[in-house]
Amino acid sequence: MASSSRAVLLLAVAMAAVLGTAHGASYTVGAPAGSWDLRTNYANWASSITFRAGDQLVFKYTRGAHDVLEVSKADYDSCSGSSPIASFQTGDDTVPLRDAGTRYFICGVPGHCVAGMKLAVKVEAAASTGPNPAAPSPMPVAMAPRAAGPSVAVPPSSTSGASAGGVGSLAGLGLAAVVAGLMTFY
């Protein structure tokens, strides 16, 4: 009984780790030195980050003083906010980067874009979750033999290198707590 409980606990911990790394990274625009403001150099900020599909941008700014408009490349180049793809105005806006490609954002307040409040983000495809021939094989989790019942395979952890978002980590911890609670009935 004790060895099967340990096996279930190891499985729960492994699943929590996988869920914690399954989500992309969250980047606060301009951080750590700036935010969505007139002082930050967004070309320099974005050039230091490799954005991947699944990541998200968080725009923080004083509501009413700025906004965020997602625009086409032509509107980005001309600083035109007349036909935005999307508009954000809360002062704490999260924009998911779901697909590979370049995304363009400007501040729609007159004069702010031409003063430098514009951001182009090149988003790469998400890292492959398939086997990587250069990476070592994951270590299997040892499980005690069981009399009957389905077996559960533990998927390998993500190799994307992106830092996990807090939501994935919380989901993993919640799953671990549920499994630990079920162990008492096992």
State the CB neighbour count (10 A cutoff) for residue 38.
14
The predicted pLDDT at position 92 comes to 97
Longest pairwise C-alpha distance within the chain: 72
Q: Is 55 helix (H, G, I), strand (E, B) or coil?
A: strand
- Model confidence, pTM: 0.60
Contact yes or no for 58/29 (Cβ under 8 A): yes
Q: Give pLDDT, residue 2.
A: 55
Render 139-151 in DSSP notation, one character per residue: PPPP----SSS--
**What are the structure tokens assigned to 143, written together?**
């499980």
Where the chain has pLDDT below 50, the residues are: 7-22, 131-176, 178-180, 182-186
For the segment 122-173, what is each residue's pLDDT rounded down to a tens digit? Answer: 999 987 655 444 444 343 333 333 344 343 333 333 333 333 344 444 444 4
Domain boundaries, the chain: 26-124
Domain 26-124, classified CATH 2.60.40.420, yes or no: yes
